[in-house]
Amino acid sequence: MTEVYTGEALVELPQSTPADIEEAFARAREAQRLWAQWPLARRLEVFDRAHTLLVDNAHTTADLLQAESGKNRRMAIEETCDPPMVISHYLKRAPKVLAPTKRGGPIPFVSSSTEVHVPKGVVGIIAPWNFPFATGLSDAIPALMAGNGVVVKPDNKTALSPLFGIRLLEEAGLPEGLFQVVCGEGPDVGPTLIDSADYVMFTGSTATGRVIGERAGRNLIGCCLELGGKNPMIVLDDVDVDEWLEGAAFGVFGNTGQICMHIERIYLPEARYDELRDAFVQRAATMTMGAAYDFGPELGSLVSPDHCERVASHVEDAVAKGATVLTGGRARPDVGPAFFEPTVLEGVTKEMLAGCTETFGPVVALHPYRSVDEAVRLANDTDYGLNASVWGTDLERAETVAARIESGNVNINDALATAYASKGTPSGGVKNSGVGARHGDQGLLKYTDVKNVAVLRKQVLGARPGQDYDAYVKQMLSSLKLMKRLRVR
């Protein structure tokens, strides 16, 4: 691993062999058998203590995040807040969601059925490099609360922060061995991890997600996939420019554009296009970049020189095919090995990489629109559907537009944070942006299997002694009509 700001070596990261991965799952399974027997209240006590440790160590975690990923200090601190937020939500919600639910059976009064949630076993989590601490821990927390063990594979570039987080969980009382870590490149580690897991949680590219989904399907295990996006923002003609400007700038350039839900396309009303474009370009042009472990720079580094080259190639391709750079557009090796200027493009089309493929950097394309119908059509003209944003003063109108956008998340008068931080509501993608969701009840229940425990108190299923079957059928059909009339379930 390297220090992203300087390119200097940080630490030698051992790479896991298939045998190492199998051993990690074996250890996690051994610990999980005992963990699953703990009462839920006892398991939650561990996370109550972990919440305090995670908050108290936020600055140390932020140091690690900055060193391994190059993000600015604000983004690093905000990332450390995600696992405590997830813990707070599920500490309150898990007892109700995981409690057995008793319901009526097929025969009123003499039968019942109880829904019982049991842990899957050991969950495999493949965490990305853009938010390694948040995804490495936050996706694991509900799985652990539900009684599972976890084996996480962080990205090779960003393993230090999740490792530190796991140490804090163990300090809080999580049994040793329950939360395992394996390291390696995806093609080397992924197959054995998926083949060994009882469920897989993956955050990353759509192409890799397809491979993981196919392998999980062959193994008859479930998976949750949060994949790529080409996220749009529609700005309505009644927008307050001062209210919009900072939110839009963060939505595009937060984490140097390396947020799965960040905005890559902005649609501006033709009548106000010049005004809004000029304000946004001026804001982008004055953003500060820097390699610093303080809250000064607004933008940090991209994660690696290779990724910087990829972002640059999207801009170069767009310019070669007729797009205009309104500000930015250049790598900044004078600041650090992987810095790239905040970039605003105009005239981008779907024939360009920046017009159809996720750039995942500090690059956005501005587009004018003549009618709201056109804006919605353009926003939906993509294979992706992870996040979208609508801005306007008239909230009812903005909500009407939001309802027409094909996306798993839609933020009104915000770019992305409100949807993602709403831990009580599931967050996932549609179309090529994923399968399943994190957060909400769904984000906990996906890590469980349902056991249906049914009880029959009296033997009434079938004809009574001496009753012919025709009479029994007549009685049964009459009972069905009566149950419907009385709404008996």
Are the beta carbons of 366 and 345 closer than 8 angstroms? yes
Answer whether residue 476 shows pLDDT above 90: no
Whether 236 and 191 share a structural domain: no
Q: What is the DSSP letter of 121?
A: S
414 is a domain residue: yes
Whether 272 and 417 share a structural domain: yes
What was the pLDDT predicted at 1? 85
The pTM (predicted TM-score) of the whole model is 0.96
pLDDT confidence tier of residue 487, bands split at 50, 70 and 90: confident
Q: Model confidence over 156-202: pLDDT tens digits?
A: 999 999 999 999 999 999 999 999 999 999 999 999 999 999 999 99
Q: How far apart are CA 441 and CA 233, in angstroms?
A: 28
What was the pLDDT predicted at 482? 86
Of all residues in the chain, the percent with pLDDT exceeding 90 is 93
Answer whether residue 364 shows pLDDT above 70: yes
Whether 125 and 193 share a structural domain: yes
User: Mean pLDDT, to the nearest integer, of 357-373?
Assistant: 98
164 is a domain residue: yes
Domain that holds residue 59: 18-227+438-449
Q: Out of 183, 224, 260, 308, which one is annotated catalytic? A: 260
Assess whether 226 carries a catalytic annotation: yes
What was the pLDDT predicted at 378? 98
212 is a domain residue: yes
Answer whether residue 489 shows pLDDT above 70: no
- The CATH number of the domain where 263 resides is what? 3.40.309.10
Task: Specify the number of domains making up the chain.
Answer: 2
Assess whether 358 carries a catalytic annotation: no
- The CATH number of the domain where 32 resides is what? 3.40.605.10
| DSSP code per residue over 339-381 | -B--EEEES--TTSHHHHS---SSEEEEEEESSHHHHHHHHH-
Q: Model confidence over 346-359: pLDDT tens digits?
A: 999 999 999 999 99
483 is a domain residue: no
328 is a domain residue: yes
Beta-carbon neighbour count of residue 172 at 10 Å?
A: 17
| DSSP code per residue over 293-330 | SSS--SB---S-HHHHHHHHHHHHHHHHTT-EEEE---
Q: Out of 226, 264, 298, 358, which one is annotated catalytic? A: 226
Q: Contacts from 102-107 at CB under 8 Å and sequence distance 24+? A: 103/489, 104/488, 104/489, 105/454, 105/455, 105/456, 106/461, 107/456, 107/460, 107/461
175 is a domain residue: yes
Q: Which of 124, 131, 143 is nearest to 47 (CA)?
A: 143
Whether 301 and 235 share a structural domain: yes
